[in-house]
Amino acid sequence: MRRYRGSMRPIITELDNNKKGSIRTDVADLVMVKYKCSSNGVPITQTNGSTLPLVPGSSKDAEFGGYNPFDHRTVQYPTTDMETFIHLLKGSLGSGILAMPLAFMNAGLVFGLVATAVIGFVCTYCVHILVRSSHKLCRRMQVPALGFADVAEVAFLAGPPAFHKFSGLFRGLVNTFLTIDLLGCCCVYIVFVAKNIKQVMDEYVLEINVRWYMLMMLPLVIAMNLIRNLKYLAPFSMIANFLVGICMTITFWYVFQDVPSTKSVPYITDWHKWPLFFGTAIFALEGIGVVMPLENNMKTPQHFIGCPSVLNIGMTIVVVLYSTVGLFGFLKYGDDTEGSITLNLPRDQLLAQSVKVMIAVAIFLTYSLQFYVPFEIIWKGSKHRFTSHPVLFEYLLRVFLVVCTVMVAIACPNLGPVISLVGALCLSFLGLILPSCIDLVTCWEEPGLGRGYWRLWKNMVIIMFGILGLVTGVYSSILDIIKEFNQ
């Protein structure tokens, strides 16, 4: 086995031509098995929805000019900078924007504006270091692209030997927190739809508990999620996007009418409410799950980060929009702000009620797309156990997971604490803690921790910020959920 010397350790496996079938590797056989490197042909692996061909590498220092991953990406339908920009906005501008007035209620007017800008900046910076680490690892591995979980795994495999044993753990953590995050969003969607429908039904038909609406939705949600092919879900997404656009326009029209004075609301709230703000804000702003698939499918991926870049421009617009909705929504409704701003719209006006129906339909149609990714993660990790009747067990698993999300929604029919819990638990880890860990391990040996270990201290500050937000946000959210459950 040949040893590579220097500050950077290549980890791509190579075929020894002198001995047929003999493999040389500088890390572990896991890398060879994982990425199926061989000397014949160009094998293909699937990660996070991207087709990633592995190419033969060389033994020279690939990171410094020997291999450019962008030249080897073979995406069937690459996206332009503008298309990626639109997808980034779509992935970041979700239902969380409707909860921003509630976030501001837990922070105060001025503190909410400042904190939203800070969280937006930190989240954007963490995406930068995640993508930059991905590019470094692609050069070291001599592969054209890596998915989110792959970046976490390979970073620890490519780092110092002491970190190798953590590679599988961090890959599992990424998939676990992505699954919890997206299934948590599904729970939020159930609550969101039921509460909007309840307000309309209370006004025009009869008043019943919101939990009954969730139960009545269950058969429809199950039927929607028995669709196995993502292709057939695309029309529902188009309809949902159209309805959301109409609803947001009407909602803004109501919000900007007769806006009260800024003196009518507090500029800063009590500190014990801040964790709820943090959880809600990061739930709304963090789009870390869509970053790697978008960057992997770009025609010019080098334009994704930098200054200016698709990411910087897109996230600036997202932060401005979220701050605007949070600011004016809180100004308009003050302490009466609901978990979704649509719930504050007038109940005696048909136009406002139509918004609630349309947004409920839009979110209902979006549920299946949100459910698709966590189901794929769970199914890929468990289908080897059900080889006798795989299709039957796949349908049963779909039904089971849908029922679980509805049951959780029924147990916690309050949007605010649920949104804050999902944001604080999952997105603090995925969006803040994990990218900093990956950056640290990737740069540990090359280019190093920097003068005065500035890279270490910088990442430790972000990690501590993420841990603080995670612990306090989860604690505050659970207390609110328990209080709601007891009532």
Does residue 464 register a pLDDT over 90? yes
Q: What sections of 334-414 are H helices per DSSP?
A: 350-382, 390-411
- 374-377: list long-range contacts, CB under 8 Å, 24+ apart: 374/178, 374/179, 374/182, 374/183, 374/186, 374/401, 375/225, 375/401, 377/175, 377/178, 377/179
Indicate the pLDDT class of residue 113, thresholds 50, 70 and 90.
Answer: very high
């609803």: which residue's tokens? 247
Give the global pTM: 0.76
Q: Exposed/middle/buried for 332, CB within 10 Å: 0-12, 13-18, 19+? A: buried
d(CA 319, CA 329): 15
Does residue 56 register a pLDDT over 50? no
Query: What is the rounded average pLDDT for all residues in the chain?
Result: 79
The alpha carbon of residue 383 and the mean position of all alpha carbons in its chain are separated, in whole angstroms, by 24
Question: How large a percentage of the chain has pLDDT more than 70?
Answer: 84
What is the structure's pLDDT at 46? Answer: 40
* Pairwise pLDDT comparison (370 vs 375), residue with the higher score: 375
Query: Which whole number is the average pLDDT over 95-117?
Result: 88
Least confident of 236-245, 286-295, 363-372: 286-295
What is the structure's pLDDT at 481? Answer: 77
d(CA 112, CA 126): 21
Residue 139 · residue 392 · CB < 8 Å? no
Least confident of 132-141, 212-221, 276-285: 276-285
Name residue 51's beta-bridge partners.
Answer: 46
What is the structure's pLDDT at 22? Answer: 37
Q: Which two tokens stand for residue 340?
A: 């979704």
Does residue 325 register a pLDDT over 80? yes
The alpha carbon of residue 66 and the mean position of all alpha carbons in its chain are separated, in whole angstroms, by 33
Query: Which whole number is the average pLDDT over 219-237?
Result: 81
**pLDDT digit string, tens, across residues 149-174:** 889 999 998 888 888 888 889 999 98
What is the structure's pLDDT at 436? Answer: 92
**pLDDT digit string, tens, across residues 406-432:** 998 888 787 677 777 877 888 888 888
What is the structure's pLDDT at 18? Answer: 42
Does residue 279 register a pLDDT over 50? yes
* Pairwise pLDDT comparison (51 vs 323), residue with the higher score: 323
Does residue 11 register a pLDDT over 70? no
Residue 256 · residue 382 · CB < 8 Å? no
Query: Which whole number is the average pLDDT over 460-484?
Result: 85
What is the structure's pLDDT at 437? Answer: 92
Q: Which two tokens stand for residue 450?
A: 């920097």
What is the structure's pLDDT at 19? Answer: 40
Sequence-distant (6+) residues with CB within 8 A of 191 are: 210, 214, 339, 409, 412, 413, 414, 415, 418
Query: Which whole number is the average pLDDT over 357-378?
Result: 85
């270490």: which residue's tokens? 456
Most confidently modeled range among 41-45, 311-315, 398-402: 398-402
């989110």: which residue's tokens? 148
Name residue 53's beta-bridge partners.
Answer: 44
Sequence-distant (6+) residues with CB within 8 A of 186 are: 367, 370, 371, 374, 405
Burial code of 123-155, b = ≥16 C-beta within 10 A, e = fewer? Answer: bbbbbbbbbbbbbbbbbbbbbbbbbbbbbbbbb
Give the strand pairing for 23-24 and 14-15: antiparallel
């309309």: which residue's tokens? 200
Does residue 23 register a pLDDT over 80? no
Name residue 445's beta-bridge partners.
Answer: none
